[in-house]
Structure 1
């Protein structure tokens, strides 16, 4: 979770296509379109069915029920080197666990295999050589080219700092970057685009510093083909200190990155209801893969387990009532998110235009049990006026539905930007309305948020983000339960009634 920003529009779609594996799986088979149940029942009846199912799913689904899935994911990680990363036995076992339970519950379930690359970092070192010698904490970019065996020594050159620092050629004008290492601030575009622009300006390496306090930037390029020059990430504090020193005089650094790149196969798990109108698909997803550094129980075992809990409860309700949802409900557990949203990008790319039009909306749940949580709802209407603009038409209505539910429960919440760092990105890029919730990653909780949500101000939402400590002890179960209720409510409503999307309803 929490990847670099991904641009939307034509440039974003080109980047998306470049990152997607060439191995394209067959699309999920859909049943023949039935008569439209909404027409038969009428709007009032559909709304009643939706509200009733939502209440039932909220009662049935719980953090306690979902916790058993988290325990299973922890056991899988423990048995497979401590992680569940895409392309590893740990992830395949996680996918098999989810697939088995959904199959038993009666869903139409499939694996969707695609290729991913894995990066094994052997060396990652960064030192200031002059004017003041010191070592810095650094993380090699995923799929960075390696430096020469002896490392790379060069002077720093500063890319322009603005809202999209280092993303375009003019961010490298006014200073010679030839033979130097570019120092670039995070944000505004992908890590891959930043180092590509730096390389085009003549830089022999790139150092990207974080745009939030606390934590070292961890760049990722998606595949080895995207890496142009050796690239590494550092913290905001170290980056700003280097920039200040370089503005006064020459700063020379030594960068040493040695990395191996290995191609693997990995599956998405796709499950859909056997009933429901395939012309109106309600899609939900969570990424199932962890980073190699840890078991990923919050990131994103939490979203995966919450989604699985609600999917199983929906199947149970359907079986007991004999009543299929009006709309087809499709659940997805993505692989390769931590490598650059690869699973969701692959899925969206292999859909035909007609199949994309059938998807009424997409809901994303990534990190919903952070131990120092904030209750964040994706800002579909851009009412916060931060970062990216609004989501596609219908996204504002999704945000309104989630906010309205939380308001009725008396649960405080606030917006979070569609910054392109999770699996809603590929759906938004093709015009599918999106939404969902999030409880925070490496960002720092403000005093105002601590007053609103509780917890500790000045500390990360998840201090074990992308680390070995992201295990069963790294959870806030109250936040987990709240967000499972959000999933249950949304599934219940949208399974029968898409009218709240208004003019944003598709299909």
Structure 2
């Protein structure tokens, strides 16, 4: 699952800028005509969803997870985009799919990313602290800005009153996280006369933040960890000058998605399932998102044994999600540029982190019964959500809504009007007493304490969570491979046409930067 800022290549940090077009791809879904059936058309080739759910087992998923762990172990401990670990992960997925009988396509895309040249705050004593340049904040010149420090009188620095009586002109403001947005802190500091700002965290970790949009301030703004922030505040109190240097340059890179789809199924009604294959550089990424990738792979392997389907099922392992949802965005944006292609997609199902060790059973809240979505939710999304919730309800399995905030690869789909939902077992939100009552585990710590760390390895993936989620994914896949009429009014096999293999789409633009934010998924 994408974080606010993600390392790319050893020793660097990267986020997105506008990408460029990759190789020209053939038209999407080029299977054949396949018109919609008329009213009363029968169910055609139904897959027994209950039986299929039993065929996708924890044991089968675990074999894929074990291989992804071995791949990380052989490749510097990670499977991040643009690394050999990612390439090896993709080769494993491709080999497994080909053995199952799929035609597999690599879907290339090019994109720009920001390589960090400097991110540091240095005291006049020579002591240096790591900082993170906030998204949409200006860079410094080479060598940075040097000035005395200043601290607001209420530490959070949210308003002009916070700076009343403080000599802030020509200083680097040092501000605590909390009470208001990072943008409000930066704006207030600049209005008080500061020439730079550092916001330090109120928990023990680096602060990765965003100002939300460009042009809000003219001063560099960076995040820092809680302990470092305390040391910087002490240095300001002692009159020690500060030097803040944050700057980057843009490079162009290429990565790819892995795409496969069933040979059976009508060509004008496609169910798409996706999970991002890349992880972060800081660890093997076995929950984020080896778990979703492995479940998707086992579902694909078992579905290949079904020789007749009403609807085509397409599987996508997205690249460069951790850099800002790049692969999925490129894919959808190319489809959006081809008349009628997105209309062929009945719905999109997303699986990003489904094995969290302190898990919840989360379903994306497409009907907004708990969380109001920050974007328009496409019609049919609530009905897609209901496939999962209905499955869980039928088994007396507790579940909770997860905010439909756009923090994973479904973002581009819903922004382009494609119905979507999916499953999620939690990242860095804190587990509540109410969630413990429903799912067990430990209150007061994260759903995944190992999120984006070296400890996100196989030993910290929950077999129990996989055992709940994998059959749910299988059930939804089989159900929608048979009938999507509740979502888009289409039922029955239609005119199948001749299958020409999976489409692949390499053109598209990545969103600026990789920072998204939302409720249950990840905190700001």
What range is the shorter-chain TM-score in?
A: 0.7 to 0.9
Deviation, 1:39, is: 5.3
Task: For 1:364 and 1:215, locate their aligned partners in 2 and report how far apart those are by CA, in whole Å.
Answer: 29
Match in the other structure for 2:368 = 382
Whether the 8 Å CA contact 2:186–2:197 is kept in 1: the answer is no
Alignment of 1:22 onto 2:17: no
Quick check: which one's helix share is greater? 1
Q: Which residue of 1 aligns with 2:330?
A: 346
Contact 2:28/2:341, CA 8 A, preserved across alignment: no
* Structure-1 separation of matches of 2:325 and 2:180: 17
* Aligned twin of 2:214: none
Q: Relative contact order, CA 8 A, sep 6+: which one is greater?
A: 2
Partner of 1:473: 459
Distance 1:128 1:312, change over 3 A: same
- Partner SS state of residue 486, structure 1: helix
What is the Cα deviation at residue 33 of structure 1? 2.4
Written as runs of structure 1 = structure 2, the 5 A alignment for 1:400-419 is: 400-419=386-405
TM-score, L = length of structure 2: 0.74
Measure the CA separation in 2 of the matches of 1:408 and 1:128. Answer: 60
Cα distance between partner residues in 2 of 1:487 and 1:454: 22
**What SS does structure 1 have at the residue aligned with 2:304?**
helix
Gaps of 5+ in 1: 6-15, 159-164, 167-173, 222-226
* TM-score for both structures, normalised by structure 1: 0.77
* Alpha-carbon separation, structure 2, partners of 1:342 and 1:186: 30
SS, match of residue 95 in structure 1: helix
Matches within 5 A, 1:128-207: 138-139=131-132, 147=140, 150-153=143-146, 207=198
CA deviation profile, 1:102-142 (whole Å, cap 9, x unmatched): 12222232101122456666764447899xx9987744568
* Corresponding residue of 2:287: 298
Please state whether the residue corresponding to 1:473 is helix, strand or coil: helix
Change (3 A) 1:233 1:274: farther
Structure 1 pair 456/271, CA: closer, same or farther in 2 (3 Å)? Answer: same
Deviations 1:314-345 (A, max 9, x none): 002x2xxx32x211111100111110000011
Following the alignment from structure 2 to structure 1, what is the Cα–Cα distance between the partners of residues 111 and 190?
26
Give the distance between the partners of 2:230 and 2:401, measured in 1 at CA: 28
Q: CA RMSD in A?
A: 4.6
Structure 2 stretches lacking a partner, 5+ long: 6-14, 159-163, 212-216, 495-524
Instruction: Deviation per CA, 1:359-398: give whole Å up to 9, x if none.
Output: 1111100000001101111000111134535621111111
**Per the alignment, do residues 123 and 294 of structure 1 end up closer, same or farther by CA in structure 2, a change over 3 Å counting?**
farther
Return the alpha-carbon distance in structure 1 between the equivalents of residues 374 and 489 of structure 2: 22
* Shift, 1:68, TM fit: 1.1
2:223 matched to 1:233?
Answer: yes
Deviations 1:424-455 (A, max 9, x none): 11111111111001011111111111121111
Q: 2:321 aligns with which of 337, 352, 376?
A: 337
By how many angstroms is 1:218 displaced?
Answer: 3.1
1:453 partnered with 2:439? yes
Q: Which moved more, 1:193-202 or 1:382-391?
A: 193-202
Moved more, 89-98 or 19-28: 19-28
Quote the Cα distance in structure 1 between the aligned partners of 2:418 and 2:281. 31
**Structure of larger gyration radius:** 2
Cα deviation, residue 36, structure 1: 5.1
What is aligned with 1:397? 383
How many Å apart are 1:64 and its aligned residue? Answer: 1.1
Separation (CA, whole Å) in 2 of partners of 1:213 and 1:503: 49
Shift of 1:235: 5.8
**2:264 counterpart of 1:275:** yes
- 2:429 equivalent to 1:443: yes
Query: Is the Cα contact below 8 Å between 1:4 and 1:421 reproduced in 2?
Result: no
